[in-house]
Structure 1
Amino acid sequence: MWPFTKSKEDDTSLVPRRDELNTMARTLLEVARLDFDSSSQLEQALTATFLFGMIFAHGSTHGMQPHEVHALSLVVFQDTLHYSDAAAAEGVQQAISASTPGYHNTMHAIIHRGIDGHRQYVEGDRAGLGENIQSVLAHFRKNEEG
């Protein structure tokens, strides 16, 4: 074996987290009463941004590194939201950028609603989580209609 060759570690530590987060994402869609694939682009973007906040909060409470939260966000967007690789990468990057205050204030606020949504999810407050995401969607539907 060459001395400069490094074998890749078989790290599967994120696999259980992926399953947990996909369950969380499915619960979000259920309490939102949202058929994500049939939703408008606006509803999809709002829901994905909210979900990113939930994933971010999960990562923070479990001491995860930013690259782990990034990776898990990508796969959950693909697994549960059915985003393509490119759409997941774009959506997650936009959410990461919006986590910086001043970059996109509306997305930033929705991420924080998702952080609160994570608390509601962990506490088993499905009704509160549903009201939280539905109020975000309703606010923007109202503004979209005029």
Structure 2
Amino acid sequence: MLRDPYWNALVPELTVDQIEVSLRFYTTAGFSVRFQRDAPPFAYLELGQAQLMLEQQHERGWNVTPLDRPLGRGINLQIEVPDANAVRSALVATGVTIFREVKDTWYSVTPNVQKGQRELLVQDPDGYLLRFAQHLGSRGTA
């Protein structure tokens, strides 16, 4: 029996300047291309259960105001990865500048429990801020 592929209920679509440049960045970070179209240039990407769409800027695009760089100001997209250090190494090897180095952070989720993640923040070629996060587990608080 064929099973339908997993589709997220919420999938951000990012407007990009040059889709091929963006695809090189995202595939280096570990994403794979689920499908791609040429008119307009578009790609649907996935990494584990994280999904993201990229569309090259064009005159019929769904942008409500002029796009000022860097794009995506005021938002960061968290993407769960199995190994944040491996993502860092792959990106640095291609010349990507790190916005915030790998750091372990613990967040309170209830009064007595924290969830940890190893985080790396980088900007993609258009300036979108991405937080690659490796799950570290839970711990109790004193």
The TM tier, using the shorter chain, reads under 0.3
Specify which structure has the higher proportion of helix. Answer: 1
TM score, norm. by length of structure 2: 0.24
TM score, norm. by length of structure 1: 0.23
